[in-house]
Structure 1
Amino acid sequence: MKRNRILIVEDEESLLKLESILLSSKGYKVVGVADGVAAIEEIFSNIPDLVILDVMLPGIDGFEVCRRIKEDPATSKIPVIMLTARKNTQDMDRGLQSGADAYITKPFKSAQLIGTIERILSNAVG
């Protein structure tokens, strides 16, 4: 079975470590970056199977990163899960309008994140 490569974009170091450990323990190959510019560079140089994207990032925010991923034909099929503390409906709508495949708010349950990743990746294969 192919090990899916997941890019985590999270500026809070402790959360980046936590998410990386969680996904690695489930057999995913994980790469982490801490800001929007690094995310775009990583995505376009080494296309991941899925992106977990915080909204509040230094430099370029998660909404803009998602929009850039989805508007480029080379990366438009990459699933994006927004994982953020921003819970209001306007932010959720904006996330989905920018192309996110899912929007999960922090604090999150590990099972919810893993379930969402598995569902999206299994749909992407089919």
Structure 2
Amino acid sequence: MRRKKVLLVDDSNTVLLLHQMMMGERGYETLVARDGVEALARARAETPDLVFLDVMMPHLDGLETCRALREREPTRHTPIILCSSRAEPASVQAGFESGCTDYLTKPFDGAELTALLQRYLGSERGTRGID
């Protein structure tokens, strides 16, 4: 079976590197985008199994990117996890109103990430049913 693809979208190279390491340790293939515009192009070209999307980014923020991903057929039903340091109810509500599947508050730990990956992709090792 092919490895599950996770599109990581963040304007911080440090965050991207950390998330790539976390995903790699769990057996997932990672795709990277540094803003919403690049994320839309990567999602169209690669059809990820899950999108991990930062909210605060230049050019096209995470909420706008999430709405755009929901309007396109290949990603209309793809799980999208918005990630933000903003945890107040209005920010979380705005995230869900943009179409995200889940909302994760920074900083988060490996256990939280693993639980979300398991919930939306079915296996911690990056392939369904195979560990």
User: Residue 121 of structure 2: SS of its match in structure 1?
Assistant: helix
Deviation >2 Å, runs of 4+: none
Q: Deviations over 1:76-107 (max 9, x none)?
A: 01110011112111110011111111100001
Partner of 1:13: 13
Q: Matched residues in 2 for 1:107 and 1:38: separation?
A: 24
User: Residue 37 of structure 2: SS of its match in structure 1?
Assistant: helix
TM-score (norm 1): 0.93
Q: Matched residues in 1 for 2:114 and 2:45: separation?
A: 25
The aligned amino acid for 2:85 is: A
**Residue ranges of structure 1 left out of the alignment (5+ in a row):** none
**Residue ranges of structure 2 left out of the alignment (5+ in a row):** 123-127
Of all paired residues, the percent bearing the same amino acid is 36
Equivalences for residues 58-97 of structure 1 within 5 A: 58-97=58-97
Higher RCO, 1 vs 2 (CA within 8 Å, ≥6 residues apart): 2
Partner of 1:104: 104
Q: Matched residues in 1 for 2:96 and 2:15: separation?
A: 23
TM-score (norm 2): 0.89
The aligned amino acid for 2:2 is: K
Q: Matched residues in 2 for 1:42 and 1:95: separation?
A: 21
The aligned amino acid for 1:9 is: V
User: Residue 59 of structure 1: SS of its match in structure 2?
Assistant: coil
RMSD: 1.5
Q: Matched residues in 2 for 1:37 and 1:114: separation?
A: 27
Superposed displacement of residue 73, structure 1: 2.5
User: Residue 8 of structure 1: SS of its match in structure 2?
Assistant: strand
